[in-house]
Chains A and B, each alone.
Chain A
């Protein structure tokens, strides 16, 4: 591998319904990250931007607009799209470019604004992220695709709709402790089970919200990090994976191959295993996704995640803390920003900024984020610098 890579600063807007334009949201998070790193824009040698539905707010080719408004129009920017996994896939490209020695310091920014569109519009836009000929074009929404995965999972393993509800309840508990979370509301299993069905067997509270928001981090090499005098964390593992785009083409509908492969690569690079991870931010776009994720990432054997959730083994400061931020379910899902927001959570946890949701004595953390139904995925592992 190349040079060691560090996260030197991080910033995020609140997730939810935001009034500013997509560019203003992006700039607010960028400024917070730049300030957090103790640098100025002139230190940034390149910008990596993740976004999916900029067209919904009349702005594509976003990177040059953002760099121009940061006062660095001469700095090259690149906009990357990989559906809901855009943030982590973009982070991986930023990581690779610093590791390869092309740049000593870069901005990695994810942003999205969708709440000004109607539910039908946003449902339709999301469906374009599927393998449209077989899925969206046959009437499948994203809740529908995950609903079909949930039905297959519940029919295959000892898991129930109540177990799915417990994932939502746990993530809402954590989200209550996160001032930037979109849905800060305590819910019960009964609330989830009584909420309207969105795509059977998934109900409203099994689904993450559509959110606006932006998250940004500053990545740099070792020399830059040490010179800064500011706290930083190390990226010790990085992996990418892919799955057949259409759910129908997967040998097993209850697993996501891209997650398995991305985590295998990240563990190998970090020379670590699942037992070394103190907490993980996973892609819980729907409650079923979290069950599948924590099995695919190696934290629990296949078919046992529901039992682990039932026993409280994934709650804050338990066996493996899953989604201390509240996850997509409570913190929110500003699509292009989500993967970067997970890194912001790790940075805040490891630099004593996570407040009441701090994972005690944590030193190693993982982020996991995928696109669509897991057609693309990236996993990263981070180490606290003492």
Chain B
């Protein structure tokens, strides 16, 4: 029996494809208009699984973050970075990602402007200050 490769992208693959273009792909419930990240399977308000995909510009402001001296495997090669939670400018959703080049809190006041610039297999959602 031959194996056929599915051409349908998973929800995560779709999220990643848009992140690589600097966008955050959001699921908007067609029943109640609730918005959630692309990776959810059911609306957490009305439990519908019918969504409209809406890409939002991956720009936002820093809600909180940390700078770590002990990091998980795969991140040891980075001199210093912040793991950041930021709120998207154009919708009421928080997203988290990896922001290289941050060594002290003075480099990143809360509310700083942040944008998504890429998604790497190794470091996930890549952010940049702007």
Interface residues of A (CB under 8 A from B): 119-121, 123-124, 127, 133-141, 143-145, 147-149, 151-152, 155, 196-202, 246-249, 253
Contacting pair A139 B70 (CB below 8 A): no
**Partner-contacting stretch, out of B27-35, B51-59, B73-81:** B73-81
Closest 9 CB pairs of A and B: A147-B66, A138-B124, A152-B64, A124-B73, A140-B83, A248-B94, A127-B72, A199-B68, A144-B66
For B96, what are the chain A residues with a Cβ–Cβ distance below 8 Å?
134-135, 138, 140, 246-248
Measured CB to CB, the closest approach of chain A to B92, in angstroms, equals: 10
List the A residue with the shortest CB-CB distance to B125: A138
- Could you name 11 residue pairs across A and B whose Cβ atoms are closer than 8 Å? A120-B76, A134-B125, A138-B83, A139-B124, A141-B68, A144-B83, A148-B66, A151-B66, A198-B68, A246-B96, A247-B85
From A148, A201, A253, B83 is in contact (CB under 8 Å) with A148
If over half of B's interface residues share one DSSP class (helix, strand or loop), that class is named, otherwise mixed; here it is strand
From B39, B110, B123, A138 is in contact (CB under 8 Å) with B123
Measured CB to CB, the closest approach of chain A to B25, in angstroms, equals: 13
Whether B101 sits at the interface, judged by CB under 8 Å, is no
For B78, what are the chain A residues with a Cβ–Cβ distance below 8 Å?
139
Contacting pair B69 A139 (CB below 8 A): no
For A141, what are the chain B residues with a Cβ–Cβ distance below 8 Å?
68, 70-72
List the B residue with the shortest CB-CB distance to A152: B64
If over half of A's interface residues share one DSSP class (helix, strand or loop), that class is named, otherwise mixed; here it is helix
Contacting pair B69 A196 (CB below 8 A): yes
A120 to B64, CA, bound (A): 24
Contacting pair B123 A139 (CB below 8 A): yes
Interface residues of B (CB under 8 A from A): 12, 37, 39, 63-73, 75-76, 78, 81, 83, 85, 94-98, 105, 110, 123-125
For B98, what are the chain A residues with a Cβ–Cβ distance below 8 Å?
138-139
Contacting pair A199 B124 (CB below 8 A): no
Looking at A137, A138, A144, A148, the one whose CB has the most chain B CB atoms below 10 A away is A138
For A202, what are the chain B residues with a Cβ–Cβ distance below 8 Å?
66
Measured CB to CB, the closest approach of chain A to B114, in angstroms, equals: 13
From B39, B72, B73, A133 is in contact (CB under 8 Å) with B39
For B97, what are the chain A residues with a Cβ–Cβ distance below 8 Å?
138
List the B residue with the shortest CB-CB distance to A126: B72
A152 to B94, CA, bound (A): 14
Looking at A133, A136, A139, A141, the one whose CB has the most chain B CB atoms below 10 A away is A139
Contacting pair A143 B64 (CB below 8 A): no
For A247, what are the chain B residues with a Cβ–Cβ distance below 8 Å?
85, 96
Known: A139-B83, A147-B68, A148-B66. A200 touches B73 (CB 8 A): no
* New A-B pairs, 16, CB < 8 Å, besides A138-B83, A140-B68, A147-B68: A120-B73, A123-B71, A127-B72, A133-B124, A134-B96, A138-B123, A139-B71, A139-B123, A145-B83, A155-B64, A155-B110, A198-B69, A200-B66, A200-B67, A247-B96, A253-B63
Measured CB to CB, the closest approach of chain B to A193, in angstroms, equals: 15
Measured CB to CB, the closest approach of chain B to A101, in angstroms, equals: 34
A121 to B85, CA, bound (A): 25
From B37, B63, B69, B85, A199 is in contact (CB under 8 Å) with B69
A217 to B84, CA, bound (A): 41
A200 to B72, CA, bound (A): 15
Looking at B12, B67, B105, the one whose CB has the most chain A CB atoms below 10 A away is B67
Known: A148-B83, A200-B105. A137 touches B64 (CB 8 A): no
For A121, what are the chain B residues with a Cβ–Cβ distance below 8 Å?
73
Contacting pair A139 B65 (CB below 8 A): no
For A246, what are the chain B residues with a Cβ–Cβ distance below 8 Å?
96
Looking at A124, A140, A148, the one whose CB has the most chain B CB atoms below 10 A away is A140
For B124, what are the chain A residues with a Cβ–Cβ distance below 8 Å?
133-134, 137-139
Contacting pair B94 A199 (CB below 8 A): no
For A196, what are the chain B residues with a Cβ–Cβ distance below 8 Å?
69
For A200, what are the chain B residues with a Cβ–Cβ distance below 8 Å?
66-68, 105
For A144, what are the chain B residues with a Cβ–Cβ distance below 8 Å?
66, 68, 83
Contacting pair A123 B105 (CB below 8 A): no
Known: A148-B65, A155-B110, A247-B96. A133 touches B71 (CB 8 A): no
Looking at B37, B67, B78, B85, the one whose CB has the most chain A CB atoms below 10 A away is B85
For A127, what are the chain B residues with a Cβ–Cβ distance below 8 Å?
72
For B71, what are the chain A residues with a Cβ–Cβ distance below 8 Å?
120, 123, 139, 141
